[in-house]
Amino acid sequence: MNSASPSNNSLLWLMLGLTLGALPHFSFQPLWVSIIFLAMIGWRCMNSWRAWPLPTKRFSKLKFLQLSIAAIATLLLLSSYGNLIGRDAGVALLTVMLALKVTEIRSHRDYYLSCFLGYFLVVTNFFYSQSIATAALMFIVVTIMTGCLISLNVPEQSLNSRSKFKLASQMLLQAIPLMILLFIFFPRIAGPLWGLPNDAYSAKTGIDDSMTLGKISQLIASDEVAFRVKFTDDMPEQSALYWRGPILWHTDGRTWTELEDTLQTSQAPTLTHSGPEYHYTTTLEAHNNKWLFALDFPTTTPTVIKSHFTQDGQLRSDETIKQRQQYELTSTPQFTFNSDDEPYLRQALQLPDNQHIRTKQLAQQWLKQTQDPLQLVQIALNHFNQRDFYYTLTPPQLVGDSIDSFLFESQRGFCEHYAASFTILMRAAGVPTRIVTGYQGGEINPVDQFFVIRQRDAHAWTEVWIKDRGWLRIDPTAAVSKDRIEQGMSTVMPLSMRSPLFISNSQNLAELWQKIRNNLDAIDNKWNQWILAYGPKLQKEFLSKLGMPSPNWQTMAIWLIASISFTLLTISAILFYHRQQSAPIIKLYKKFCKQAAQRGFKRENHEGPLDFGQRLKQHYPQQSNEIDQITQLYINLHYGKQSASIEELRHFIKHFRLQKL
Nearer Cβ to other proteins, position 192 or 600?
A: 192
The least distance separating other proteins from the CB of residue 144, rounded to whole angstroms, comes to 13
User: Collapsing DSSP states into helix, strand and coil, what is residue 427?
Assistant: helix
Nearer Cβ to other proteins, position 104 or 607?
A: 104
Nearer Cβ to other proteins, position 129 or 490?
A: 129
The least distance separating other proteins from the CB of residue 114, rounded to whole angstroms, comes to 12
Burial of 564 per CB tally in 10 Å (0-12, 13-18, 19+): middle
The least distance separating other proteins from the CB of residue 205, rounded to whole angstroms, comes to 21
Distance CA 367, CA 425 (A): 10
**How many other CB atoms sit within 10 Å of the CB of residue 517?**
16
N-term to C-term CA, the chain = 66
Please give the sequence-ordered ranges of beta strands (E in DSSP) within 302-454, or none if there are none.
Answer: 307-309, 315-317, 325-331, 334-337, 390-391, 412-413, 433-440, 443-445, 450-454
Distance CA 519, CA 525 (A): 10
Nearer Cβ to other proteins, position 109 or 515?
A: 109
The least distance separating other proteins from the CB of residue 173, rounded to whole angstroms, comes to 9
Picking from 283, 287, 120, the residue whose alpha carbon sits closest to that of residue 202 is 287
Nearer Cβ to other proteins, position 151 or 251?
A: 151
The full DSSP string for 629-652 is: HHHHHHHHHHH-SS---HHHHHHH
Amino acid at 459: H
What is each CA distance from 343 to 63, 173, 307, 335, 424, in whole angstroms?
71, 64, 22, 19, 20
Nearer Cβ to other proteins, position 346 or 587?
A: 587
The least distance separating other proteins from the CB of residue 192, rounded to whole angstroms, comes to 5
Picking from 337, 283, 287, 333, the residue whose alpha carbon sits closest to that of residue 309 is 337
Distance CA 230, CA 295 (A): 12
User: Collapsing DSSP states into helix, strand and coil, what is residue 47?
Assistant: helix
Nearer Cβ to other proteins, position 143 or 392?
A: 143
Nearer Cβ to other proteins, position 201 or 256?
A: 201
The least distance separating other proteins from the CB of residue 155, rounded to whole angstroms, comes to 7
The least distance separating other proteins from the CB of residue 522, rounded to whole angstroms, comes to 19
Nearer Cβ to other proteins, position 64 or 120?
A: 120
Q: Which residues bind other proteins (CB under 8 A)?
A: 1, 108-109, 112-113, 116, 119-120, 122-123, 126-127, 130, 134-135, 138, 142, 146, 149-150, 152-155, 157-159, 167, 171-172, 174-179, 182-183, 186, 188-194, 196, 200, 323, 531-535, 564, 568, 571-572, 575-576, 578, 581
The least distance separating other proteins from the CB of residue 346, rounded to whole angstroms, comes to 43
Q: Residue 460: enclosing H or E segment and its boundaries?
A: strand 458-466
User: Collapsing DSSP states into helix, strand and coil, what is residue 342?
Assistant: coil
Sign of the torsion formed by the C-alpha atoms of 603, 608, 609 and 615? negative
> In what order do the strands lie in the sheet containing 458-466?
294-295, 242-248, 433-440, 458-466, 470-474
The least distance separating other proteins from the CB of residue 57, rounded to whole angstroms, comes to 25
Nearer Cβ to other proteins, position 75 or 196?
A: 196
Distance CA 571, CA 575 (A): 6
The least distance separating other proteins from the CB of residue 142, rounded to whole angstroms, comes to 7
- R_g over Cα of the chain: 37
CB 315 within 8 A of CB 307: yes
Distance CA 417, CA 114 (A): 55
Nearer Cβ to other proteins, position 179 or 345?
A: 179
The least distance separating other proteins from the CB of residue 190, rounded to whole angstroms, comes to 7
